[in-house]
Each structure stands twice: as structure tokens, then as C-alpha cells.
């Protein structure tokens, strides 16, 4: 134990005892305070947090019942229940000491005491108090993180056919511990899907730890992921828990895993195989229990053929592969998502109950959304911030006007049909068979529509 830790308060009506304690303890602990009058205890407890209190059991001459000591012990435990109390009892007064222990005292020592024994008793109490503080901090941090995961604004929305299939997949795989790889374009909501999987899993009450591998400096990878001990390198001033250890018992989400260099992929693979980590500067290995969810905007097969990713690691992380479709392929979800964020940002920026006009809805439907959900979210937020009227019109969204068809009542069906056919043809790069199949029409009908709309 560092001798500069531990705040000790001694309470005894004997001046010589207090002087002895002061001299004996001042070089061993961070702070030692001595008082004679027990009536000052409430004041002392209000001034600071004490680690250990040395409490005499009798304060009146001729009295040795210990009733006064028990009274103040109870008061201390009521006011500062986490402070450890060591009783100073008369020699051989075991019954009084037992009574004190039942009332919540940590330990007792009989007068006259052996100084070495006294020091050991106090040091043991200080170590226990320090451990309890650390545990409390960890519990507070974990509780905070769990709460954040529970209340985070990560609504996973969608009722389109493709999203319905994804929800079915979640129901099947979430209760298992199978490693999951989520693929899809940037902004499609891969982290939202990962959080939803965690929320539906048996680990939902534990931590969900997201890690953006594309943002971690290669030189700091081991420190960030595995943790480090104080002094492991120049800037390691304190111990640090790595992301993997923090996620133990819960879910670890590795975003942009395709950006991880090959040499670091090898280190990650070893952890996944052994399920243990070793912090930098430590010789001790730590067993970890994680549910791994990874994500990439790259195509896994291309990653392998271009020698950007280890085949053995890919097989470790892709037990189940889920592809998040781009927003342009789930247009039935566009307005549901838009209305959700309209509500969120209207409340955030105190804009009342904003609505989107019919033409505004058409504009959102017709936009291609190359940035996917992220672009839609920012589009709605910007429109809410700049809005000056309760109903948002197409111009409020400031979309690429070349991609917006301003429909009127007389030509709406024609324009919507033209836009839909054009979009599907673009999706399948002119493959008429695939386009006709998705549109639910024959190739002949598709030819007629292409000719009619000049496509």
C-alpha cells in the first residue's frame, strides 16, 4: 500500500493516546486527524470523507459500559456507512467488541495495543476501503454505460420487405453467441443493427462496446483493445482497461473491420481463438467472454481476392452475414424514418409539431439518398433548424433538384411511374429481365413503359 493513501480520524478523550496515534500514524498514511470530543464527529464527517475511524468506546471517566461508543458508532454508520470503524476497547472486553462488530464495526483492538499490530489492522482496513472505492467506481461506470445503451437514440426502424427479412434474421441469431458480420454501404445503419442484435440477445443487460477500427491509430491498437498497465510505455500514467475486456460478458462491435491492417488482424485473430487477452506491460492473461459483431462497407469476397483481409479471420467473424440494404432499395421505410427524426429534432430545437407536406413527401421519396439513413437524418435536422413555417415543403430539404420530380395532381401517377422504372433500370444496370421481375410486370410491358417515358 502506498503510504500516501488513507485518511484516518482518531477519537479518544485521552490526550496521550491521541498524541501517540498522531506520531505513529502520520508517516504511514495520507492524513491523520485527532479529536477528543465525540460531539465533533458530525462536523468532522461533514468536512470530508474518511477511510478509517479509530473510535474509543468510553468517553466519560469511570464509565466502561461502552454505551457511548456504541451510540457514536451507530451515528457514524448512519452518516458515512462506507467508512470503516475500528473500535478501541479496554483490555479483555470481548463482549463489548462483539457487540460493536454486530453494530457494523470493521474490527477492534484492545488497549494497550501493540503498535505493529495496530498499524497492520489500520493498513488492512485502508486497503479494503480502497478496493471498495474502485469497485464502486467500476459499478457506477458500468451502470452509466448500460443506461446509455438502453436510452440511446438508436431506433432501428423499417417495415419494408427487406427489413422484415432482417428482423426475422435478428430473432433467430440474437439469442445465440454466433459471430455476425454486417455488410452494407456507409450510412445504412450497420451500428443500429448491431445494437438491435445486442438488445435482443441474452447479453442485453451487459455492455455493448462499439469500436471504430478505422479511427484507431495503428500504434495504439493494442493499448485500446487489450489495455495497458501503468508504465507500459511513456504516456501510460495509469492502468487502462481495454475495449475487449470492457465488453466481456456483453457484445463487442468492431466497425469498419475491413480497414484493419493485416498485422493487426493477426493479433485480433489470436484473441478470438484463445478468448484471452494480455494487457501491455502485464504478464497476466485475462479470460474474456464476448459476443463479436463486426461491420464493413467493403465486399468480403473482394477483400480476400485483393489480399486485404485474412481468410482465417474472415471465417471467424462471418458465421452469420447480414447485409443492410441501401435506403434506395427500401423506399417504403423513407417516410417512417423521416417522420421519426422530424419528431426528434422538432423537440430538440423547440419547433413544435412540424409536418411534411404532400409535395415534401414526394420529394423525399424521389431522392436517391446516396448517403442513406445518415443523409436522411442530417437532411431532416437541417430542415427543422432552418424552418420558418409549420409545414416543410420540398425546398426546405435542399435536395438535388435534378433528382426531384415536382408532381402535380394531374401528372403524379405518370411521374411516379417514370421515376420508379428509371430507378429499377438503374439498379440492375439496364437488365430488363431483372427489372421487369422486380416491378412485377412482363418484359413487353416494360418495353412499352420505357418507350412511353423516353427512357
Lowest mean pLDDT among 101-115, 422-436, 437-451: 437-451
Q: What torsion do the CA atoms of 282, 283, 289, 294 make, to the nearest 10 degrees?
A: 60
Confidence of residue 66 (pLDDT cuts 50, 70, 90): low
Within a domain: 309: yes
One domain for residues 381 and 425: no
Confidence of residue 156 (pLDDT cuts 50, 70, 90): confident
One domain for residues 259 and 224: yes
Confidence of residue 408 (pLDDT cuts 50, 70, 90): very low
One domain for residues 296 and 165: yes
Residue range(s) defining the domain that contains residue 114: 7-132
Q: In total, how many domains does the chain have?
A: 4
One domain for residues 41 and 183: no
pLDDT at 444: 65
Within a domain: 297: yes
One domain for residues 213 and 76: no
Evaluate if residue 385 carries a pLDDT over 50. Answer: yes
Task: Render pLDDT for 191-215 as a digit per residue (tens, 0 to 9).
Answer: 999 999 999 999 998 889 999 998 8
One domain for residues 181 and 283: yes
Mean pLDDT rounded to a whole number for the chain: 85
Can you tell me the mean pLDDT for 152-167? 83
One domain for residues 165 and 116: no
pLDDT at 145: 60
Confidence of residue 154 (pLDDT cuts 50, 70, 90): low
Can you tell me the mean pLDDT for 123-128? 91
Which of 325, 348, 371 is a domain's end point? Answer: 325
Within a domain: 117: yes
Task: State yes or no: cis peptide before 266, omega within 30 of 0.
Answer: no
One domain for residues 161 and 286: yes
Separation of CA 26 from chain center: 42
pLDDT at 85: 95
Within a domain: 145: no
One domain for residues 243 and 301: yes
One domain for residues 298 and 165: yes
Domain of 163, CATH number, reads: 3.40.50.300
One domain for residues 36 and 128: yes
Evaluate if residue 402 carries a pLDDT over 50. Answer: no
Domain of 366, CATH number, reads: 1.10.8.60
Can you tell me the mean pLDDT for 281-293? 88
Q: What percent of the chain has pLDDT over 70?
A: 88
Within a domain: 17: yes
Within a domain: 361: yes
One domain for residues 50 and 117: yes
Evaluate if residue 354 carries a pLDDT over 90. Answer: yes
pTM > 0.85: yes or no: no
pLDDT at 367: 92
Within a domain: 394: yes
Which of 371, 389, 406 is a domain's end point? Answer: 406
pLDDT at 60: 62
Burial class from Cβ neighbours inside 10 Å (0-12, 13-18, 19+) for residue 367 reads buried
Which of 80, 97, 132 is a domain's end point? Answer: 132
Within a domain: 142: no
Domain of 440, CATH number, reads: 1.10.10.60
Amino acid at each position: 500500500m502506498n503510504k500516501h493513501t488513507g485518511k484516518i480520524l482518531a477519537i479518544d478523550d485521552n490526550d496521550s493516546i491521541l498524541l501517540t496515534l498522531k506520531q505513529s500514524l502520520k508517516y504511514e498514511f495520507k492524513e491523520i486527524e485527532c479529536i477528543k470530543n465525540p460531539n465533533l464527529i458530525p462536523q468532522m464527517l461533514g468536512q470530508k470523507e474518511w477511510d478509517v475511524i479509530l473510535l474509543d468506546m468510553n468517553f466519560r471517566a469511570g464509565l466502561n459500559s461502552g454505551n457511548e461508543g456504541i451510540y457514536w458508532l451507530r451515528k457514524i454508520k448512519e452518516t458515512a456507512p462506507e467508512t470503516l470503524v475500528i473500535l478501541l476497547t479496554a483490555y479483555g472486553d470481548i463482549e463489548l467488541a462483539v457487540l460493536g462488530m454486530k453494530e457494523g464495526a470493521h474490527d477492534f483492538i484492545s488497549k494497550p495495543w501493540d503498535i505493529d499490530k495496530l498499524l497492520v489492522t489500520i493498513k488492512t482496513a485502508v486497503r479494503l476501503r480502497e478496493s471498495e472505492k474502485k469497485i464502486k467506481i467500476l459499478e457506477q461506470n458500468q451502470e452509466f454505460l448500460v443506461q446509455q445503451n438502453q436510452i440511446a437514440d438508436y431506433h432501428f426502424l423499417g417495415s419494408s420487405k427487406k427489413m422484415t427479412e432482417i428482423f426475422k434474421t435478428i430473432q433467430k441469431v440474437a439469442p445465440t453467441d454466433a459471430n455476425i458480420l454486417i455488410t452494407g454501404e456507409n450510412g445504412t445503419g450497420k451500428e443500429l443493427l448491431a445494437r438491435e442484435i445486442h438488445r435482443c440477445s441474452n447479453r442485453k443487460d451487459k455492455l455493448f462496446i462499439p469500436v471504430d477500427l478505422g479511427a484507431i491509430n495503428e500504434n495504439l491498437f493494442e493499448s485500446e483493445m487489450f489495455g495497458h498497465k501503468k508504465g507500459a510505455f511513456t504516456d501510460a500514467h495509469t492502468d487502462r482497461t481495454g475495449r475487449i475486456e470492457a465488453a466481456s460478458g456483453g457484445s463487442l462491435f468492431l466497425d469498419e473491420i475491413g480497414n484493419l491492417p493485416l498485422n493487426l488482424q493477426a493479433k485480433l485473430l489470436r484473441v478470438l481463438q484463445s478468448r484471452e487477452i494480455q494487457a501491455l506491460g502485464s504478464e497476466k492473461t485475462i479470460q474474456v467472454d464476448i459476443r463479436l459483431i463486426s461491420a464493413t462497407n467493403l465486399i468480403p469476397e473482394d477483400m480476400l481476392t485483393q489480399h486485404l483481409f485474412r481468410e482465417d479471420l474472415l471465417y471467424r467473424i462471418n458465421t452469420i452475414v447480414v447485409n443492410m440494404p441501401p435506403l434506395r432499395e427500401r423506399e417504403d421505410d423513407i417516410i417512417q424514418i423521416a417522420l421519426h427524426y422530424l419528431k426528434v429534432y422538432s423537440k430538440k430545437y423547440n419547433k413544435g409539431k412540424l409536418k411534411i407536406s404532400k409535395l415534401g413527401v414526394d420529394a423525399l421519396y424521389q431522392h436517391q439518398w446516396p448517403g442513406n439513413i445518415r443523409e436522411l437524418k442530417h437532411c431532416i435536422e437541417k430542415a427543422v433548424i432552418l424552418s420558418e413555417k409549420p409545414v416543410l415543403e420540398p425546398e426546405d430539404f435542399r435536395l438535388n433538384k435534378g433528382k426531384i420530380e415536382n408532381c402535380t395532381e394531374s401528372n403524379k401517377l405518370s411521374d411516379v411511374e417514370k421515376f420508379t422504372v428509371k430507378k429499377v433500370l438503374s439498379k440492375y444496370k439496364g437488365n430488363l429481365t431483372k427489372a421487369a421481375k422486380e416491378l412485377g410486370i412482363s418484359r413487353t410491358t416494360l418495353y412499352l413503359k420505357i418507350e412511353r417515358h423516353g427512357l
